[in-house]
Amino acid sequence: MGFSSEPARKRMTIVVVDDDSAVRNSLQFSLEIEGFAVRAYSTGADLLNAGDIAGCACLVVDQNMPGMTGLELLAELRLRRVCTPAILITSHPSAALRDRAAHDGVPIVEKPLLGNALLERICAVTEPGSRPCGSAERTPNGH
């Protein structure tokens, strides 16, 4: 992915959810090289059943998975009051998907994952002062 590891990353855990084992394993390997701890799951249900989201710095979630989509998974996590920053990964997102993700405050990184786009987005959403759960789009009254 190309960035040098920073000591602070060693304390950060990234959760990857992708049903494609090649993508999931590649992301886990690449992020570990960058100094992150990584927990990987093949479905949203696996993550929800694991219940070990506490302490996670960022979720990297595939949109197109069996059982539930990435945005459905994130909606369920928000209902459970999990406000961990999240990034959606997908190929060829439609305008409707882009609009829904933007409304939910979830950035999209398009597959194929080339260069440093995902790493840069992870660093951006985990910076101190970043606003999880799409709160940057909401006013104090929730709109």
pLDDT at 24: 97
Return per-residue pLDDT of the chain as tens, 143 residues: 444 445 555 579 999 999 999 999 999 999 999 999 999 999 999 999 997 787 899 999 999 999 999 999 999 999 999 999 999 999 999 999 999 999 999 999 999 988 899 999 999 999 877 655 544 333 333 33
pLDDT at 43: 96
pLDDT at 6: 53
Q: How far apart are the C-alpha atoms of 66 and 6, rounded to whole Å?
A: 35
Place of tokens 């929800």: 48
Give me the phi and psi of 96, to 5 degrees please.
Answer: -65, -40
Q: What is the pTM of this model?
A: 0.85
The DSSP 8-state label assigned to residue 79 in this structure reads H
Q: How far apart are the C-alpha atoms of 126 and 142, rounded to whole Å?
A: 22
Residue type, 136: A
pLDDT at 129: 72
pLDDT at 5: 45
pLDDT at 130: 67
Would residue 113 count as lying in a domain? Answer: yes
Would residue 47 count as lying in a domain? Answer: yes
Residue 6: exposure state from Cβ atoms within 10 A (0-12, 13-18, ≥19): exposed
Q: How far apart are the C-alpha atoms of 98 and 49, rounded to whole Å?
A: 28
Would residue 142 count as lying in a domain? Answer: no
pLDDT at 113: 86
Q: DSSP 3-state assignment of 27?
A: helix
Q: Which domain range does residue 49 map to?
A: 7-127
pLDDT at 47: 96
Q: Please give the tally of structural domains in the chain.
A: 1
We report the CATH number of the domain holding residue 47 as 3.40.50.2300
